[in-house]
Amino acid sequence: MSEPMTHSEGAGEPTRRDFLYITTGATAAVGAAAFAWPFIDQMRPDASTLAVSTIEVNVASVEPGMSLTVKWRGKPVFIRNRTPEEIEESKAVAIADLKDPLARNANLDATAEATDVARSAGEGKENWLVQIGVCTHLGCIPLGQAGDFGGWFCPCHGSHYDTSGRIRKGPAPENLPVPTFAFTSDTVIQIG
């Protein structure tokens, strides 16, 4: 024979047992959130990382033919003020002669061709070249104003880049990447 129902069970009102279940569940949820928060919080970028996600570089003292290397996101970035001769030499190269026909410029569409203008700071600022200075073969740091094409040369495995940072000879599969950047004034470049 079954036990008779109490008044509160029959009427659908909460019992003490229901209250204990709800209280225990809420306490467990708060405890789990308090336990998990340090693990979730540690996944956010450190303040020092956020501080270097964007940098500004004053290039007023970089004369034509000179280069400057800065550190951005833990990688070297080559900034070069090219001479008119270097620009003309780079413009004369046909896209069909390039090992990698894509510009690899984060400021342009991913399918943009590796023309000299597409690899530079753009119309009116073709003399400025900004690129991440890491060889696309195995991540070495190329030497500037070196190699068969007067641009960059990676002595580790023999990759030669031209004065636009395009791979021309050697095992590297891609052109040196161009990061997101913009001129905030005539002499200041913001990278990132």
| The pLDDT value given to residue 15 | 84
Residue 1: pLDDT over 90: no
* Pairing state between β 55-58 and 188-191: antiparallel
| The pLDDT value given to residue 8 | 52
What mean pLDDT comes out for the span 38-62? Answer: 80
Per-residue pLDDT reduced to its tens digit, 137-189: 888 889 888 889 989 999 888 999 999 999 999 999 999 999 999 999 989 99
Residue 10: pLDDT over 70: no
Percent of the chain with pLDDT over 90: 58
| The pLDDT value given to residue 48 | 66
Q: How confident is the model at residue 74 (pLDDT cuts 50, 70, 90)?
A: confident
Q: Worst-scoring range by mean pLDDT, 23-27, 33-37, 46-50?
A: 46-50
The 66-72 sheet, strands edge to edge: 66-72, 75-81, 128-132
- In the residue annotation, 157 being an active-site residue is answered as yes
Distance of CA 128 to CAs 67, 74, 79, 89, 178, Å?
Answer: 10, 22, 7, 15, 12
